[in-house]
Structure 1
């Protein structure tokens, strides 16, 4: 049990002991700072309670553990806001760097922490959010099938393209969630679900950032916390314990989580994300470093595009063909629009910061790539963007003309 949790030894030991002794309460509160492993511990608690062999080892092959490892168990529900995008991007990059079972699960779980918030029963009677997100979630699941832990991973190029596609779709879905509240109807839907007959096993509800609940939602939850149906466990998660109503606090057993030490932080970054940890003082700092790379694939593509402006041979379409393989630019107006927009932003960043030398590690640009030339390229890209939108031009035509115009502009 809990082999995937780093740190929090005292709290985790208490939870394990109570699960084994059958004394774990049905209403729990995991509280502590962000990035202290509260959701990971809640998910591991859910897996341990559901394990059909009772051992709940991480590699357990019982049907419940298999489903829980991939966050597919139908008897585990998650609601509440979270930093989905940054975790998905960071996990996807880890899988690109290291093709291991651990990084595969890391990425799959990061994505489903988001998509499982759209389980239809949670949104019944509220709005069309789950319905609107359904097509994108279907596409995400189709892509995730290629990463199934039981089959061989795709080749490097195909894997990277799949991860980028899943990430882009997930960021789109995240915008549809777009709420910092837990609605009263969600609580009512969950309460109704807990009273439905279950064939076997426990039902676990995880409410992340429970402190964002309005008073009406909190009051609706009280009855469920006080008298949960047999086999039902409710795990509240918060970084602001004092923001919860006293009546909520009085109905849960509280489990503290503490800020990870520098040593624990280093271990998580190195062993889970397979990245050098020395420059990060905390997991907060590590995840913050990913906030500005939500469109990482487009940023990388824009840099590749700019660097290839200076290739003066007959293969001038090659960078576009390579970029199209990753981003499907030629067949997607939306992706082409996003790409040119990011290209403009990249050039603006280089221009305003005067980062035009190779040693700046931003772009591999020639010495003669002056501020004036950067500004010229930015204007060309802006004009291309306007033409693409207003004249409804074909993506392939716009991109080829853009590359040609930029190459002409930088000729010495």
Structure 2
């Protein structure tokens, strides 16, 4: 059990012990940074809870086979996780190695992408046009997904359909109607040992979705389990946290990262600080690839020597919605880091990466953080224009900088 959970030995030991002693709680939060094994642990727990055999990794009982192939009717996954760039890396390596392991991982990513699109889950959660488009992409993939090998044409179809599919998602958070549909499913009677709901990015749910989820958590059923995945547990409302047992997934060690890249993805280039950097090394919106633009944006905003018109021209040159969102998220991360620097250095600040932020006093830094959180909420939940939001946020701050008010 849980031997596939690389680099999270303490979590694996804890879950193994709880399973063996019949101490698994009905509501859990798996929290930690991206690509630390939360979803892997969730699926392994689904398998173990429904196993009719010895619960070992190589168990061949029908339930284990169905869970491993992501065809088990006793679990649902609510997620808007983007597997495109990870799949791009897999396809690149598969073209060179043609290995069964890489083919199976591509297959798994395709299944994970379309699992949240079951008819009963998306009813009322997507527009009819978006549903038609999603089903069109799914039909394209269904014709080739079970092939024992993928040729170059099929790999191109997989890559193109995955990219187009994720463009349908207007916001990264799960719609409230999908949460309602999930709630209806939990009251169905199914002939399985354990029914499991996995909700990804639960820390990004709207308040109405949180209230629906909370209501169900307050009415536990003996064979119904909720596994909530989050990057930041502090963003989850306290009433939900109080009804769940939390498991923290720490960042993977360099050795674990190298092992996963070399063994699971069969790539000889393992020199990456984390799996996020590896999967998104071709993503223009990744933190590493947008760092140059982020540095320029921070200096243009907070350095008095740069004029208002320079900031205006920079923002006018940025047209891509996803890259603008990446800049906003990057700015928020920098501000959060500045707070941490001050907390651990008696308020003086030691932000060597962005020293310009050290000149901002604590009250203004708090004010900027509140504005950033509000802006991200408007973009991610209400789908407002990131360009308009960023302009409305930065221009008043720039004016304050030029007038020595910050």
What interval of TM-score do these two structures reach, taking the shorter chain for normalisation? 0.5 to 0.7
Rounded Cα–Cα distance in structure 1 between residues aligned with 2:223 and 2:131: 27
Deviations 1:96-120 (A, max 9, x none): 3333332222111111211112111
When residues 178 and 3 of structure 1 are mapped into structure 2, their CA distance, relative to the original with a 3 A threshold, is farther
Q: How does 1:139-288 map to 2 (within 5 A)?
A: 139-147=140-148, 153=149, 159-288=151-280
Are 1:37 and 2:19 counterparts?
no
- Structure 1 counterpart SS, 2:168: helix
1:289 maps to which of 249, 260, 281 = 281
TM-score by length of 2: 0.66
- Structure 2 counterpart SS, 1:90: helix
Aligned to 1:386: none
- Structure 2 counterpart SS, 1:281: coil
Aligned to 1:309: none
Superposed structure 1 runs of 4+ greater than 4 Å apart = none
Aligned to 1:90: 89
When residues 283 and 166 of structure 1 are mapped into structure 2, their CA distance, relative to the original with a 3 A threshold, is same
- Structure 1 counterpart SS, 2:151: helix
Rounded Cα–Cα distance in structure 2 between residues aligned with 1:187 and 1:75: 17
Q: Using the TM superposition, give the Cα deviation of residue 137 of structure 1 relative to its aligned residue in structure 2, in angstroms.
A: 0.6
Rounded Cα–Cα distance in structure 1 between residues aligned with 2:131 and 2:74: 18
Aligned to 2:5: 5
When residues 83 and 126 of structure 1 are mapped into structure 2, their CA distance, relative to the original with a 3 A threshold, is closer
Rounded Cα–Cα distance in structure 2 between residues aligned with 1:268 and 1:27: 29
Bigger Rg, structure 1 or 2: 1
Q: Using the TM superposition, give the Cα deviation of residue 50 of structure 1 relative to its aligned residue in structure 2, in angstroms.
A: 1.9
When residues 56 and 99 of structure 1 are mapped into structure 2, their CA distance, relative to the original with a 3 A threshold, is farther
Q: How does 1:93-172 map to 2 (within 5 A)?
A: 93-127=92-126, 128=128, 129-147=130-148, 153=149, 159-172=151-164
| Aligned partners of 1:206 and 1:237 also within 8 Å | yes
Q: Using the TM superposition, give the Cα deviation of residue 140 of structure 1 relative to its aligned residue in structure 2, in angstroms.
A: 0.8
Deviations 1:219-277 (A, max 9, x none): 11012222233311111011111000011110100001000111111111101111124
Rounded Cα–Cα distance in structure 1 between residues aligned with 2:50 and 2:155: 30
Deviations 1:107-156 (A, max 9, x none): 11111211112111111233334443112212212211113xxxxx3xxx
Aligned to 1:65: 64
Unpaired runs of 5+ residues, structure 1, are: 148-152, 294-412
Rounded Cα–Cα distance in structure 2 between residues aligned with 1:225 and 1:199: 21
TM-score by length of 1: 0.65
When residues 131 and 22 of structure 1 are mapped into structure 2, their CA distance, relative to the original with a 3 A threshold, is farther
When residues 23 and 108 of structure 1 are mapped into structure 2, their CA distance, relative to the original with a 3 A threshold, is same
| Aligned partners of 1:70 and 1:108 also within 8 Å | no
Q: Using the TM superposition, give the Cα deviation of residue 292 of structure 1 relative to its aligned residue in structure 2, in angstroms.
A: 5.1
Deviations 1:311-345 (A, max 9, x none): xxxxxxxxxxxxxxxxxxxxxxxxxxxxxxxxxxx
CA RMSD of aligned residues (A): 2.0
- Structure 1 counterpart SS, 2:197: strand
- Structure 1 counterpart SS, 2:251: coil
| Aligned partners of 2:42 and 2:198 also within 8 Å | yes
Unpaired runs of 5+ residues, structure 2, are: 286-406
Q: How does 1:47-66 map to 2 (within 5 A)?
A: 47-53=47-53, 55-66=54-65
Rounded Cα–Cα distance in structure 1 between residues aligned with 2:93 and 2:67: 21
